[in-house]
Structure 1
Amino acid sequence: MDNSFSLFLDFYLEVWRTSSFSNLEKIIAQQYKAREITAGKIVDFGYKESLEGWEQGFHFAKENHAQWKLKVVSILPLREHETMAIISATLAIDGKTLDTANLFFQTFKKYNNNDWKLVRSYIEAGVMLDETISMKEHT
């Protein structure tokens, strides 16, 4: 795997964990496209809607003094200069982890100067957490 992606992914997860909206804005490509499935309902959205969603999520986390629990499930090189990271994300509020998570299939593309950007996402929202599934928690 490209070492620049590993470094980028560490940074991206730290931005997420700290709910740093100003840093996240710089990571999402203008041409970003996504699909989210929630309770069987499909919603397609782009850059602007994505930023609105992240801003709301980060605001909720900060307002509730919640901690993001992020687990890297897998990293898959897709093609030259594109890598997918599958990430499970949930919140812990008052030390209690929610019973569900969102599963993010996120495709990142490397541009000039090892500048990685999030270009596509497929998100399964409200997935039940199963303690028997082995996933590496990113700390």
Structure 2
Amino acid sequence: MNNLFRKFLNIYLDAWRSSSIDGMRNIISKDYKAREISYGNIIDFGFEESINGWEQGFSFAKENNAEWELNEIAIIPLRTDETLVILSATMILQGKSIDSAHLFFQTFKKEESNSWKLIRSYIEAGISLDNIRHIQLT
């Protein structure tokens, strides 16, 4: 993995862990496209809806003194300027993980300025933590 991408990914994960909406706003492309599957419902959305969703999630985390538990499952270079990262995310409330997580397939693209941006996501929401903990890529 490219060292510059690793540094960028650490900044992205730190913004998430610290519930920094400004950090996320700087990382997500204005052309961002996403699809979330939540309890069988398909939701397609873009940049503005994404920022609204992050604001809600971050507000909940801060109000409930929650911590984000983020796990890297895979980092897959797609092209020289695109990398797919597979992550699971859940929250820890009052010292205990909630019983479900989201699985994120996120594609980042290097811009002409050599900065990375999140351009696409596919999200499976509400997966049992037991199922997430047993993920093995083959």
2:134 maps to 133
1:16 maps to 16
Quote the sequence identity (%): 56
CA RMSD of aligned residues (A): 1.3
For residue 134 of structure 2, give the secondary structure of its aligned residue in structure 1.
coil
Task: Kindly state the Cα deviation for residue 132 of structure 1 after the two structures are TM-superposed.
Answer: 5.0
Kindly tell me the number of residue pairs found equivalent between the two proteins.
Answer: 135
Q: TM-score, normalised by structure 1?
A: 0.93
Over 3 Å counting, the alpha-carbon distance change for 1:84 and 1:132 in structure 2 is closer
Q: Which amino acid counterpart does residue 63 of structure 1 have in structure 2?
A: E
1:92 maps to 92
Distance in 2 (alpha carbons) for counterparts of 1:134 and 1:51: 28
Show structure 1 runs of 5+ residues with no match: none
Task: Kindly state the Cα deviation for residue 113 of structure 1 after the two structures are TM-superposed.
Answer: 3.6
Q: TM-score, normalised by structure 2?
A: 0.94
Matched ranges for 1:44-63 at <5 A: 44-63=44-63
2:109 maps to 109
Show structure 2 runs of 5+ residues with no match: none
For residue 56 of structure 2, give the secondary structure of its aligned residue in structure 1.
helix
Q: Could you list the per-position Cα deviations for residues 76-101 of structure 1 after superposition, in whole angstroms to 9, with x for gaps in the alignment?
A: 11112000100100000000101100
Task: Kindly state the Cα deviation for residue 134 of structure 1 after the two structures are TM-superposed.
Answer: 6.1
